[in-house]
Amino acid sequence: MTDTAPVRIAAIQTVSGPVVADNLAVAGGLVAEAAAAGARLIALPEYFGILGNRDTDKVDAREVPGRGPIQDFLSATARRFGVWLVGGSVPMASPLPGRIFNACLVYGPDGGLAARYDKIHLFGLDLGAEKFTEAKTIFPGNRVATVDTDLGRVGLSICYDLRFPELYRAMGAVDLIVVPSAFTATTGEAHWEPLLRARAIENQCYVLAPAQGGRHPNGRSTHGHSLAIDPWGRVLAQRDTGPGVVIAEFDRAEIARVRRALPALEHRTLPPVPSVSGPSDPTPDPVEPR
């Protein structure tokens, strides 16, 4: 049974480093703060458990399903506070020893694993001095994932997925999209908020985007600006940089109001598939009158 009264949701912002235990201690304190503020669903950012000095550090910290310090933390913390806890991303073992799945794990209030999403789109950037190639250390997922909660249906994605609107359309009708991220300072400044607002507007749902935000021990700078957005595309709350909590009201009645006033999801039609050999029913050549 889903709630219809407004409830609170929260995005956690961190500046994670290479030591898992230290990162989990910080995350635990921030989750406690969000839970004390009344949040029923709390989302952690991508790489909240480890943002290493080398790309391969997360591979070394990989966990197998059901066992490992990061998964243990998520399960115990969700159960302790009785909340839905979205573990932004956890390095999970993949078929290839040198690569991991970058997995978003969702735990229910009972501490049980409710859903898993493996990041599909792998970040690649080459701005000369600034380069990223996630495919070197990450094995891509291949399944869209949603999870039904007592707040509503939640669609799962991670960071670079944000640039691919077809992923969110494939989720079907969702009430909330979560986008745990570690956007670079460069790309975040240019694209972060516009993309998030677009996903909220297109899908007429709430968007919750917990992010890494600050200068990390490895020298990397992340954009931060964790935020919550409503189905009309309005930013409800955000935090610029540094560790902290973003709290917002999640109201299923507002989703219904927006979809009723502007039924874009009902109006959506698939465009015809273009023919590579020209129109399938070409207009006949005009006939000269006699």
113-160 residue pLDDT tens: 999 999 999 999 999 988 999 999 999 999 999 999 999 999 999 999
pLDDT band for position 277 (50/70/90)? low
User: What pLDDT does residue 286 have?
Assistant: 46
Whole-angstrom Cα distance, residue 13 to residue 238?
10
38-92 residue pLDDT tens: 999 999 999 999 999 999 999 999 999 999 999 999 999 999 999 999 999 999 9
Q: Which amino acid, one-letter code, is at 134?
A: E
Q: Decide: residue 19, CB within 10 A, 0-12 exposed, 13-18 middle, 19+ buried.
A: middle
What is the homologous superfamily of the domain 7-263 according to CATH?
Carbon-nitrogen hydrolase (3.60.110.10)
The single residue of 58, 63, 104, 119 carrying the catalytic annotation is: 119
pLDDT at 19 over 80: yes
Of 172 and 2, the one with more pLDDT = 172
Whole-angstrom Cα distance, residue 17 to residue 274?
49
pLDDT band for position 100 (50/70/90)? very high
Going from N- to C-terminal start, the domains of the chain cover 7-263
Instruction: Tell me, yes or no, if 136 is annotated catalytic.
Output: no
Centre a 10 Å sphere on the Cβ of residue 288 and count the other Cβ atoms it contains. Answer: 5
Per-position DSSP letters for the chain, written without gaps between them: ----S-EEEEEEEB---S-HHHHHHHHHHHHHHHHHTTEEEEEPPTTSS---SSTTHHHHT-BBTTBSHHHHHHHHHHHHHT-EEEEEEEEEE-SSTT-EEEEEEEE-TTS-EEEEEE--SPPEEE-SS-EEEGGGTB-------EEE-SS-EEEE--GGGGG-HHHHHTT-S-SEEE--B--BHHHHHHHHHHHHHHHHHHHTSEEEE-BBEEE-TTS-EEE--EEEE-TTS-EEEEE-SSSEEEEEEE-HHHHHHHHHHS-HHHH--PPPPPPTTS-SSPPPPPPPP-
**b or e along 92-111 (b: 16 or more beta carbons within 10 Å of the residue's beta carbon)?**
bbbeeeebbbbbbbbbbbeb
Whole-structure pTM value: 0.93
Instruction: Tell me, yes or no, if 159 is annotated catalytic.
Output: yes
pLDDT at 205 over 90: yes
Question: 226-229 and 235-239: which strand pairing?
Answer: antiparallel
Residue 165: closest CA among 196, 119, 211: 196
Question: Do residues 89 and 44 make contact, with C-beta atoms less than 8 angstroms apart?
Answer: no
User: What pLDDT does residue 2 have?
Assistant: 62
Instruction: Tell me, yes or no, if 119 is annotated catalytic.
Output: yes
Angle between helices 69-81 and 20-36 (to 10 degrees): 10
Q: How far is CA 129 from CA 51, 52, 117, 125, in A?
A: 20, 19, 31, 10
The single residue of 58, 63, 104, 159 carrying the catalytic annotation is: 159
